[in-house]
Chain A
Amino acid sequence: MKRIAMLLSMCLCFATYAIAQTTITGKVTSFEDGEPLPGVSVVIKGTTTGTVTDIDGAYSINAPEPENILVFSFVGMVTEEITVGNQSVIDVQLVPDITQLSEVVVVGYGTQKRKDITSSISTLENDVIENVPANYSFDGAIQGRTSGLNISTSSATPGAAINVNIRGVTSINASSQPLYVVDGIPIVTGNNSALNANIQPVNPLADINPNDIESISVLKDASAAAIYGSRGANGVIIITTKRGSAGKTKFNIGYNTSVSKIANTPDLMNSRQWIEFMNAAAEFDGLGSNYWNSTLGDPNDPNLPTYNAYDYIFRTALAHNFDVSAQGGDEKTKFFVSGNYFNQEGIQVGQEFERISGRLNIDHSATDKLGLGANLLVSRTNHQRTINENDEYGVVVNAQAWDPTAPIIEDDGSYANPFNYNGWWALENPLLIAEQYTNTSVTSRVLASTFATYEILDGLTFKSTWSADFNSLTDEAYIPSGTNNSNASTGSGTYGTFEELAWLSENTLTYDLNLDGGHSFNFLAGYTLQESRQDFSTVEGTGFPSNQIIKISTAANRTGTSGSTSFGFASYIGRVNYSFNDKYLANFTIRTDGSSRFGDNNQYGTFPSGSLGWRVSEENFFSPLKEVVSNLKLRASYGITGNAAIGDFTWRGAYSLTSSYAGQGGTSPDILENPDLSWEKTAQLDLGIDLGLLDDRISITADYFEKTTTDLLLQEDVPGTTGFRIIQSNFGEIQNKGFELGINAKVLKLGDFSWDASVNYTHLENEVVDVVNDGQILSRNFVMREGLAISQLNLIKFLGVDPFTGDAVFEDLNGDGIINLDDRQAVGSGLPTYYGGVSNTFRYKGLALEVFFQFSGGNKIFNQSRHAYQNYGSLQSGLPYGNQSIESLNYWRQPGDITDIPRPSLAGPNDPDAQWQRFSTQYLEDGDYVRLKNIKLSYNLPSSIISKAKLSSVQVFVQGRNLITWTDYLGFDPEVSTNTASTDDLNSLQGEDFGTLGQARTYSFGINIGL
């Protein structure tokens, strides 16, 4: 999002003295809020004479000649040049630099002006990240904000990992998540919690306070990302945090609070409907009428209770966010310091996320040539999660299948045991799971870096950065004794630790060279080293004397493991940017990476890229069009990036040392050797156009891309007669192609009123071109097939309900007369094929209203939860399978009925005549949706009021998030369908929804005070 466009407005006080003055004085203020701007550089053009404004924005400078030109420049503001003439007082208002062309964009290992960029890079400013209600990490906040970036929040669990793909899924077994770089440092983003079995993984990005972020750059094409070489194939997200500027120390205090509830719940039958439905099933089976009345109750009994488990597991959740920051300094030393406390309750009982973090960023100019700096983030997070997605003991699925005639809480206050009631589901009281099963992860994070820059010669700068990313995590989990989860009949506890230390050294030389005739070069060469070591341990215990004390030391039986792993990278980088007359642009990068993860034969990989740009609008022949087309740039880039995001020790043939038997140590074959293991390579072509219309009132960026990933890092199936299942290898090809469109428009500006709009849209096609085992079954419901997109659902085809018999009819694919899993076929992918967002911002004086829609679709979702709560009367072990969706009421009643819901029947899964539902397309649904994602109404109090209170700014705002969702999806929410348990699963198993916790609708109120 761009800030509101404002017309340049200078307030020049024209003095009429005829006599030349030598001393000019004046005051520099901000056009936006009229505040004085300290630290603004005021220089006489073409000289070294200059000064800076003081705390009140005032300056004084000697300008002997009337033809002297004063240059006022300040970071983030448009530089102004004013000829002195005969003035003695020159007051200036600087306007924010919001035009795209002069915008400085953070790129890999440096910055570039937007106009010089020849690759595909999107930028996001802090206003879309700051103060987004109940958003624990920035990645959730930027969803839908820019093209090419597909983000899905897989669960409303606060602090949980979020799935991010830039321009598609490029891998099968290696990660397809982007590389995150914070202030130049690639950071650790893996889930280190050992509790990830069917519990939402923790999100290490939640360690970062979103309000510390100044801007985000998204490097999408090969030309932009190739400087990150072997880790650039999935794109790069560069985060730049706030830094201080010289002048009066500014304080900012912010607080916001929000209230969240589950946005939508699929409707279930009440007790009367359910019993009538079960009776209908019995009647169809020839068991007579009112078959279930004696067991389940009389449906016509007016006192028949209905217990809705949703009412117990969901709650109105509160979140608080408190920020305080200060920034300032002088010309030599600048600082930014902040503290944050964030606490978010989950909308489901048992979930909570808490963060305390602090940041200190310092820059110091030791001499004209030597600069020093340091960044420090310290944070601690506490994730309280519950078993949910993809687990039979998940809170949500047990609530949905809950026998509606059974209470949740017994009269004596205890948790009702579902086994004392009449549903085969639930397996456990969902409230008991939510409240009594413990799953807590606490992380401590220190992200520290120091850097020095030294200007060796004019234009030649050396920079050295040393950093450490330290992450320590403690897991504690407990399943109480006496619960139905019989893994824990005597109590089952887990305590785990994980410690990761990654250090990085980066050393670069940059050289700016401008030659006569309009040739300008920027060179970068560098060398980086990185090493990471991870140590972990887990102890588990069973047989606890008390559910109150869950420390493993009290357990009767204890087992434990510990382990470690490590990796290293050594890399060389180089880049040349070339510009000729500001019209013809070229960029070439190369990176050579060595990685410990690859075989001796292929330890190093080289990743080149190049891009060209032509600023057509700068050509002389174009000038007649400039009235209408203010900017036109054509771009083309091509390059190769790599992916190394696999396990650390997968290439060498090895025995596992953990194969003990009968109390004696043992070893057994574990890894099949592949000395040729190498990088996964992604070749990407990008053709782009940047267009500015009507003096850039409308700016359009469009890109076409083709990403071909080969030598996939693949757990290639090997013949089982070897004794192995897989070998880590390079084989296969995946292609992603599509186009992206971004439009920003200043639609209207009338006096104090303005209306800005922005739209982004991405269309994406994914195809598995070549794999070893075409048709490989990846889990029960997924397959990998050449010619189709990855995350391909593999289901039995439901042909409908026979209007004469009411039976569900399935396609017998192999014609063997039996419907079973051999009849599955590819039925669509869980990956969206289009997504984007639309934002409109209206401003009037201090008031601003932003309305933001986000959409996504083209994907399929297998709504497996319906298998539990929509199984048409079937019995399991003589019990009704579970409660039913109200959708089931539309069941087949008599010959001739046309419906998708078959005749209910009590026959169970082992009965050949059962209406028992299969893993079939019956539960396959479209994932398309449009969401009113965010509305924010903010008001900046006028300075006339706040100045009396000695405040520099006061903003109050209200926001609503996930307000309305338009979708045909029958589950909680179409966005919940992503399984985030592992990086592999994120690639190839997207699109399954089993007991996923739906999205939250959130309202928030906040205030920001500037001092």
Chain B
Amino acid sequence: MKIKHILFSALLFSACDVLDQQPEDLIPTSEAIIDKQSATSAVNGIYHALQDGDYYGGRYILATEMVAGNGTASAFQAFWQELASGRVPVSNFHVEDSWIALYNVVNAANAVIEAVPNVGELDESEKNDMLGQAYFLRGLAFFDALRQYGEFYNTGSEFGIPLKLQPSLAPSETARATVANSYVQIESDLQEAIDRLGNGSPFFASQTAAKALKARVHLYQNEFGLAETLASEVIDELGALPPDYNEIYTTEESAEAIFELEFIQQDDPNVWSIEMYNNPPEVSVTDGLIDFLSNRNENERGMLFETLGNGLNRCIKYGTEAIEDGENTIVIRLSEMYLIRAEALGRSGVPNDALPDLNAVRNRAGLTSLTNIASDAELITTLLNERRAEFAYEGHYWFDMVRYGRMETIRGLESFRRIFPIPRREINISDGTLVQNPEYN
């Protein structure tokens, strides 16, 4: 009986042990940002969130190219077919996944913004650097959410985006802010970044990148003076356009890159090859874009588009092979600053004010200079086409045609389709806190 006694005691004692299991590849949220190393890791983690396949890992950009008519669905996925049709159902997978991917960046940034000021091990400059990156990335995610889901083209609209500013520790819903307030928050985040950041590798957020993005944000609101000022500052910092248009696609950290998301094999792979270089590819380039480029004699920029033996066209800005180390995603680059300044000058002054910067971009691409832009309408057309050619498959054309008011004529879609619906999933579980975009049901 004594032996049994001992045995039972041993068993009871070990009960506590078997129930105390600790994960080895997770860290409790409360211990995630407590010292310099963990804070640095949490900042890196925001970039990792940005690399999500439904965000700058590829599909955020490809989705815009699909709805814009630059892309066609050439394989299986119904969600690509839906996007290519321009009539995007509220249950579209991309619409659903992208929403979460965007706010995952916001949440990761919020955690850093809240925790880093309290990490004693960090000095002020380290804190500023980390906070600046977090503010930049949050501002970027808010802006991208606004462009995709909110009436970003109308600053008087109530259909902005939810501005979630605290780290999420329990389920909760955030209501939509107005478009104007959404822009206020985005600008504030970017200004925080400008104030705190220095400059370094384009793989990371920098003061220049924050200025460049803020220039874009002002342009979208037709705040041409502010856009022009910031674009000029960036151009002054970085200088003339590198002579070779293609360099940025073949060289990492090229002189033109302002913010370039770095993909290496150890990171989760991006989806460029999965969507575009598989056989058959889910996303192919439309004949319309190929014709557009060849009609303009776009030899330089057109080199990045090719027609395959099976008759499908593809864009090779992100690679050619199915398995790559992972081509980088260029989020912001220098030529956009020229085109922002061109647009700001042309639309605030006379159309021909746009010419110097427009021609700088055209000449770099091997095209002759334009000499006269006759009207405001022609300016818009010129800007739209220049930007389409310069940034094809970089995620601009759709937003440009929407903010220029040209979407309906170019794509033949109803006006309410200028923005994506809020995902049905989100509406379903929000108990009325989230309001759907007009005319979607």
Please list the residues of chain A having a beta carbon within 8 angstroms of any beta carbon in chain B. 392, 419, 424, 427, 462, 464, 484-490, 492, 505, 507, 527, 529-531, 542-543, 557, 559, 563-570, 594-596, 603, 648-649, 652-673, 716-725, 727, 772-777, 780, 814, 816, 818, 820-822, 824, 876-879, 909-910, 919
Contact A507 B108 (CB under 8 A): no
Chain A residues positioned under 8 Å from B267 (CB to CB): 660-662
Contact B49 A659 (CB under 8 A): yes
Closest-by-CB residue of B relative to A649 is: B23
Asked if B423 lies at the interface with its beta carbon under 8 angstroms from chain A, I say yes
Contact B426 A659 (CB under 8 A): no
In chain B, positions 407-438 with a C-beta closer than 8 Å to chain A are: 423-426, 428-430, 433-434
Contact A720 B99 (CB under 8 A): yes
Chain B residues positioned under 8 Å from A662 (CB to CB): 44, 47, 203-204, 262, 264, 267
Chain A residues positioned under 8 Å from B434 (CB to CB): 719
Contact A773 B266 (CB under 8 A): no
- Please pick, from A543, A652, A670, A722, the residue contacting B172 in the complex, using a CB distance under 8 A: A722
* A456 CB to nearest B CB, Å: 8
* Bound Cα distance from A568 to B47, whole angstroms: 36
* A649 CB to nearest B CB, Å: 4
Contact A653 B265 (CB under 8 A): no
* A69 CB to nearest B CB, Å: 39
Which 10 A/B pairs are nearest by Cβ-Cβ distance?
A723-B107, A568-B18, A666-B44, A668-B45, A486-B322, A659-B48, A722-B168, A653-B29, A822-B89, A654-B26
Counting chain B CB atoms within 10 Å of each CB, the highest count among A484, A486, A775 belongs to A486
Contact A877 B280 (CB under 8 A): yes
Contact B322 A659 (CB under 8 A): no
* B177 CB to nearest A CB, Å: 11
* Bound Cα distance from A437 to B263, whole angstroms: 28
* Of B72-80, B355-363, B382-390, the one with at least 4 CB within 8 A of chain A: B72-80
Chain A residues positioned under 8 Å from B46 (CB to CB): 668
Asked if B441 lies at the interface with its beta carbon under 8 angstroms from chain A, I say yes
Chain A residues positioned under 8 Å from B123 (CB to CB): none
Contact B168 A661 (CB under 8 A): no
Contact B18 A660 (CB under 8 A): no
- Please pick, from B19, B265, B279, the residue contacting A559 in the complex, using a CB distance under 8 A: B265
Q: Assuming the A-B contacts A722-B103, A725-B100, A878-B311, are A653 and B11 also in contact, with contact meaning beta carbons closer than 8 angstroms in the complex?
A: no
A-B contacts besides A718-B171, A721-B106, A776-B425, 7 pairs, CB < 8 Å: A543-B323, A568-B18, A654-B29, A669-B29, A716-B171, A822-B90, A910-B84
Chain B residues positioned under 8 Å from A507 (CB to CB): 7-8, 11
Q: Assuming the A-B contacts A721-B103, A821-B89, A822-B91, are A487 and B170 also in contact, with contact meaning beta carbons closer than 8 angstroms in the complex?
A: no
Contact A672 B168 (CB under 8 A): yes
- Please pick, from A427, A492, A648, the residue contacting B21 in the complex, using a CB distance under 8 A: A648
* B201 CB to nearest A CB, Å: 8
Q: Interface digits, B256-283 against A, CB 8 Å rule (1 contact, 0 not)? A: 0000001011110000011001111000
Contact A660 B266 (CB under 8 A): yes
Closest-by-CB residue of B relative to A491 is: B323
Contact A821 B278 (CB under 8 A): no
* B305 CB to nearest A CB, Å: 17
The 13 sampled A-B contact pairs (Cβ below 8 Å) are A492-B323, A543-B323, A564-B24, A568-B17, A596-B19, A653-B30, A655-B28, A661-B48, A669-B104, A718-B171, A719-B172, A818-B87, A822-B89
Contact A777 B29 (CB under 8 A): no
* A735 CB to nearest B CB, Å: 22
Closest-by-CB residue of A relative to B323 is: A542
Chain B residues positioned under 8 Å from A595 (CB to CB): 19
In chain B, positions 40-81 with a C-beta closer than 8 Å to chain A are: 40-49, 51, 72-74, 76, 78, 81
Chain A residues positioned under 8 Å from B111 (CB to CB): 669
Closest-by-CB residue of B relative to A484 is: B279
* Bound Cα distance from A563 to B425, whole angstroms: 32
* B75 CB to nearest A CB, Å: 8
* A247 CB to nearest B CB, Å: 34
In chain B, positions 96-112 with a C-beta closer than 8 Å to chain A are: 96, 99-100, 103-108, 111
Closest-by-CB residue of A relative to B439 is: A816
Asked if B229 lies at the interface with its beta carbon under 8 angstroms from chain A, I say no
Contact B164 A721 (CB under 8 A): yes
Asked if B25 lies at the interface with its beta carbon under 8 angstroms from chain A, I say yes
Contact A669 B168 (CB under 8 A): yes
* Bound Cα distance from A529 to B7, whole angstroms: 13
* Bound Cα distance from A649 to B24, whole angstroms: 10
Contact B26 A570 (CB under 8 A): no
* Bound Cα distance from A529 to B11, whole angstroms: 8
Contact A820 B89 (CB under 8 A): yes
Asked if B198 lies at the interface with its beta carbon under 8 angstroms from chain A, I say no
* Bound Cα distance from A393 to B38, whole angstroms: 42
* Bound Cα distance from A527 to B14, whole angstroms: 12
Closest-by-CB residue of B relative to A604 is: B19
Contact B19 A670 (CB under 8 A): no
Q: Assuming the A-B contacts A424-B280, A669-B111, are A567 and B21 also in contact, with contact meaning beta carbons closer than 8 angstroms in the complex?
A: yes
Chain A residues positioned under 8 Å from B433 (CB to CB): 719
* Bound Cα distance from A719 to B99, whole angstroms: 10
* Bound Cα distance from A214 to B204, whole angstroms: 66
* A920 CB to nearest B CB, Å: 12
Chain A residues positioned under 8 Å from B278 (CB to CB): 486-487
Q: Assuming the A-B contacts A654-B26, A772-B429, are A722 and B171 also in contact, with contact meaning beta carbons closer than 8 angstroms in the complex?
A: yes
Contact B21 A814 (CB under 8 A): no
Measured as residues with beta carbon below 8 angstroms from the partner, the interface class of chain B is 35 or more
- Please pick, from A648, A664, A820, the residue contacting B82 in the complex, using a CB distance under 8 A: A820
Contact B44 A659 (CB under 8 A): yes
* Bound Cα distance from A718 to B426, whole angstroms: 8
* Bound Cα distance from A565 to B82, whole angstroms: 40
Chain B residues positioned under 8 Å from A596 (CB to CB): 18-21
* B331 CB to nearest A CB, Å: 14
Contact A671 B108 (CB under 8 A): no
Chain A residues positioned under 8 Å from B11 (CB to CB): 505, 507, 527, 529
* B263 CB to nearest A CB, Å: 9
Contact B89 A659 (CB under 8 A): no
* Bound Cα distance from A485 to B274, whole angstroms: 11
* B25 CB to nearest A CB, Å: 5
* Bound Cα distance from A135 to B331, whole angstroms: 56
Contact B311 A877 (CB under 8 A): yes
Chain B residues positioned under 8 Å from A660 (CB to CB): 44, 48, 266-267
Counting chain B CB atoms within 10 Å of each CB, the highest count among A568, A671, A814, A818 belongs to A568
Contact A775 B311 (CB under 8 A): no
Asked if B4 lies at the interface with its beta carbon under 8 angstroms from chain A, I say yes
Chain A residues positioned under 8 Å from B248 (CB to CB): none
- Please pick, from B27, B81, B84, B169, the residue contacting A667 in the complex, using a CB distance under 8 A: B27
Chain A residues positioned under 8 Å from B262 (CB to CB): 661-662
Chain A residues positioned under 8 Å from B168 (CB to CB): 669, 672, 722-724
Contact A427 B279 (CB under 8 A): yes
Contact B73 A910 (CB under 8 A): yes
Q: Assuming the A-B contacts A660-B48, A671-B26, A724-B107, are A719 and B91 also in contact, with contact meaning beta carbons closer than 8 angstroms in the complex?
A: no
Contact B26 A670 (CB under 8 A): yes
* Bound Cα distance from A791 to B306, whole angstroms: 44
Counting chain A CB atoms within 10 Å of each CB, the highest count among B99, B262, B277, B425 belongs to B425
* Bound Cα distance from A649 to B103, whole angstroms: 23
Chain A residues positioned under 8 Å from B274 (CB to CB): 487
Contact A775 B15 (CB under 8 A): no
- Please pick, from A392, A489, A654, the residue contacting B27 in the complex, using a CB distance under 8 A: A654
Contact B425 A717 (CB under 8 A): yes
Closest-by-CB residue of A relative to B84 is: A910
Asked if B321 lies at the interface with its beta carbon under 8 angstroms from chain A, I say yes
Closest-by-CB residue of B relative to A565 is: B23
Closest-by-CB residue of A relative to B161 is: A721
Closest-by-CB residue of A relative to B175 is: A721
Closest-by-CB residue of A relative to B93 is: A780
- Please pick, from A656, A772, A878, the residue contacting B26 in the complex, using a CB distance under 8 A: A656
Contact A557 B325 (CB under 8 A): yes
Contact B44 A821 (CB under 8 A): no
In chain B, positions 169-195 with a C-beta closer than 8 Å to chain A are: 169-174
* A394 CB to nearest B CB, Å: 13
Closest-by-CB residue of A relative to B38 is: A667
